[in-house]
Chain A
Amino acid sequence: MIAPTRRRMLLVLPGLATMGRVSLAVAAAGTENRLVVVMLRGGLDGLGTVVPIGDPDLRGLRPGLVPPSPGEPGGLLPLNDFFALHPALAGLHRLYRAGEVLPIHAVAPPHRNRSHFDAQDYMEIGASHRLSSGWLNRAAALIPASPAVPAALALGTHTPILLRGPAKVGNWAPPAWQPLSADLSSRLMRLHARDAVTGPALAEALHERGFTDAVLQGHAPPPPNNPFTVLAERAGLLLAAAEGPRLAALDILGWDTHTSQLARLGWELSRLDEGLMALRAGLGAAWTRTVVLAISEFGRTARENGTGGTDHGTAGVAFLLGGAVAGGRVLADWPGLTPNALFENRDLRPTLDLNRVIRAVLAAHLGLSDVALADVLPESTGAQPMAGLLRG
């Protein structure tokens, strides 16, 4: 099941459980390019994040959910004549103006479902039925890896479906208790050596600790008040290491804004913004070779619901950011918000298949061939990769 030529490592960014609702997994590969997938779990409200202020129907649909206009105190941050960014995303807005952020609107994964769990699962699996691996894992398995390089790390005890599969991925978490002595570690490993489940898992976890300890030595972690920031910064440092991983997946929860959305979304977006800036800082010079893809399982209803929030919808917004991204513009084939334009008279209508974005990034940034892409996203061979998303 595990390719014998590839040595894989699993890291769990410690203290994850104590730190709250974020986790990070990282995979290494034989490329200098870095790809980070940030999963915004819970269904990000695209219309409240990259706000189509030029659409005449917006405010009628959601009178209580639109932040003040650009220029007003706490107002939206203009992207162009039609779209503006939520005011909590000040860091992203700066990067947008530097041409390093590409918001992609009215986008949805091809396998649509208004259940969080199914929608997330299928988005991570990359198919309409339950395979036993995630698409980023299958991508990792196709990238030539030096045996000296740890192929996969996870920050957080929980490896997401996105990174589960034959290319093994692990975890790292800030130590909750004293690490085991060398003697006890080796006895524990021998005790489990013949166990098909726990044996390989323990061996990898012990091996990988050596790598992360070496990379993170001397880097004091950011204050832990925003756990996503801590994990993002650690991810950046590990990805930046010359022998480090090249693929990572980060989770950030909190987007299921059925109630009191105006306040909650601002708070969650400021956490996201701070974390993405910390990821960039951790990556340092490697940022120029980085693509970050931030995606959510679905958007939310266009109309405000009865409780100052929004319910599970369809299309939403995704972000590409990084030094390798051809940003500074909004990518959208805008469907409009009239009742007829809405999907099922309720949701923003999808005009772009998310897999066209993913395929473009995997091809242009990781150099995967059409044949390889058919392995990674087996049902999306007809989804033409979007051109021009990346620089050069």
Chain B
Amino acid sequence: MDTSTAQALIRFGMGRRKGEALPGDPVAWLRQQLLQPDPALAEPGPTTAQALRAIQRDQQAMQTMGGATTSQAEALFTPGIERLALTPVITAAPFRERLVWFWINHFTVSLRGVGDRRSLLIAYVREAIRPHVTGRFEDMLTAVMHHPVMLLYLDNISSVGPASPFGLKTGRGLNENLARESLELHTLTQASGYTQQDVTEYAKILTGWTFNLDLPDQGTHFALSTHEPGPKTVLGETVPHGAAGLARALTFLAHHPATHRNLALKLCRHFIADNPPTGAVERIADVLRRSGGDLGAASMALIDLPEAWVPQTKLRGSADFAWAVLRGLGFDTLPPDFLGFHLFALDQPLLNPDFPAGFPDTAADWGNGALLLRRAEWLVALINFHQDHDPVALAHDLLGAHLSETTLATVRGAASRRDALVLLFASPEFQRR
């Protein structure tokens, strides 16, 4: 496997699967993944309406039977998250899948923040993230900001316009959590210079957007009774009263130059280096500006950046590392306890980061010695049961031109087949992408 093929599979993809055929033209292979629809969308998955109905039925069962029933919502969630965690291991479109997880992390909804509504998170990935990964950023932002699970996670469902009919009657008021994180993390960032006043105005625009479990088929809806009356102004952009206000605000935010800079920097940090070259960031921001926020065009442009073809500049995060190991070993199911224990202990519980900022993306965060030791300990535990591989051949197959003499000699000289495989996957080259 030559350098550019290894780079396509490892830098842009999820690592080579054992026995996977190599693409003849690595660049064409990457582009093709962006041109074809997400294969995961061809599979059935819970819709938001199904998840809402299941949650509603669970609540009705709790009231009538005291909860001694199996949860319909959990019956959607459990296979859903297992499928989500397995897809990176088996996908034939790993570059697209990397982008999916990049955008899931950009628009973080954490399991810790949504409680027994977590089946909605599975539908969120399917409906708000996947369809827009090569589409327009404005469409993804709009889908995310209207999805029940985001409205729940960042508290918008409990935000009330103080001067709305409901606010005047109850004295309830704004919760500005979603407005703040949307500006800071999802769109402009603080570098744009927005003020507390902008956050408050945006929070007023967002009032009324909610969902109602009594009407689960309705999904998200706009409740005029809690909407703060009157026009609002965010960063000088005035939007009208009512449901149209949010659409106008999202269009403005999605196409703001500060948003393009934020997205370009994060994409380049993910696919090039922890501190990506300014020129590369500017090129991606420029593509976003010229294309009206076309994420497919921005992803294509990443492939064209020479800086993205400099190998081994990024340390893999723990989920990417574990997925690459499972691909390398040829897994087609998840090992037991992978979601419930392994990823927790490797410091990246899936879909469950501490903060709305999501999981970190630099070597400063993933390069601590104790975590590297723990990765090696996990490998021992895993490979104890999966030793049926030729370590030297696998080293060549998985790392190709990236394989160093030191790692090859270490694998060759290991005390056992198991240790040889552990050292291969724990090597500096395999920890990187």
Contacts and interface: CB of A to CB of B under 8 A. Distances in A.
B176 interface: yes
Contact of A117 (B347, B357, B371): B357
Given A158-B347, A177-B345, A187-B410, A198 B372 contact: yes
Interface in A149-189: 154, 157-159, 164, 170-173, 175-180, 183-184, 187-188
B355 A117 contact: yes
A18 to B, nearest CB: 5
A204 interface: yes
A116 interface: yes
B380 A180 contact: yes
B173 interface: yes
Interface string B67-80: 00000000000000
B174 interface: yes
A361 interface: no
A363 interface: no
Contacts of A307: 155, 158-159, 172, 175
Contacts of B176: 311-312
B160 A191 contact: no
A271 interface: no
Chain B, interface SS category: helix
A238 to B, nearest CB: 14
B99 to A, nearest CB: 24
B428 A177 contact: no
A206 B347 contact: no
A201 B368 contact: yes
A248 B184 CA distance: 31
B228 to A, nearest CB: 11
Contacts of B414: 187
Contact of A205 (B175, B373, B380): B373
A191 B172 contact: no
A12 interface: yes
Contact of B369 (A183, A190, A206): A206
Given A191-B406, A306-B175, A157 B422 contact: no
A263 to B, nearest CB: 15
Interface residues of A, number: 57
Nearest to A205: B369
A38 to B, nearest CB: 17
B28 interface: no
Interface residues of B, number: 58
Contact of B345 (A17, A200, A306): A17
A250 to B, nearest CB: 15
A150 to B, nearest CB: 13
A389 interface: no
A334 to B, nearest CB: 24
Interface in A202-218: 202-206
A258 interface: yes
B159 A175 contact: no
A215 to B, nearest CB: 16
Interface in A283-307: 305-307
Interface-centre pick from B170, B184, B369, B406 (highest chain A CB count, 10 A): B369
Contacts of A198: 315, 367, 369, 372, 428, 431
B174 A10 contact: no
B116 interface: no
Nearest to B170: A306
Contacts of B363: 197
A179 B374 CA distance: 8
B380 A184 contact: yes
Contacts of A178: 377, 380-381
B162 interface: yes
B155 A259 contact: yes
B355 A17 contact: no
B345 A10 contact: no
B365 interface: yes
Interface in A1-17: 10-12, 15-17
B6 to A, nearest CB: 18
A191 B381 contact: no
Contacts of B112: 21
Contacts of B378: 176-177
B33 interface: no
A189 B173 CA distance: 57
A248 to B, nearest CB: 16
A253 to B, nearest CB: 7
Contacts of A206: 369, 373
A110 B159 CA distance: 30
A258 B155 CA distance: 8
Nearest to B203: A311
B196 A114 contact: yes
Contacts of A114: 180, 196, 199
Interface string B275-301: 000000000000000000000000000
Nearest to B207: A306
Nearest to B166: A306
A180 B283 CA distance: 45
A192 interface: yes
A202 B167 contact: no
Contacts of B170: 306
15 contacts: A10-B369, A12-B368, A21-B354, A154-B370, A157-B347, A171-B369, A171-B371, A180-B376, A191-B406, A191-B427, A198-B372, A306-B170, A306-B173, A309-B175, A311-B174
Interface of A: 10-12, 15-18, 21, 113-118, 154, 157-159, 164, 170-173, 175-180, 183-184, 187-188, 190-192, 194-195, 197-198, 200-206, 253, 258-259, 305-307, 309, 311-312, 344
Closest 9 CB pairs of A and B: A205-B369, A306-B172, A12-B370, A176-B345, A306-B173, A201-B369, A171-B370, A177-B377, A307-B158
Given A191-B426, A192-B428, A306-B170, 17 more contacts: A10-B369, A12-B371, A18-B341, A115-B180, A157-B368, A171-B369, A176-B345, A177-B374, A179-B377, A180-B376, A180-B377, A183-B415, A195-B428, A258-B175, A305-B173, A306-B172, A311-B176
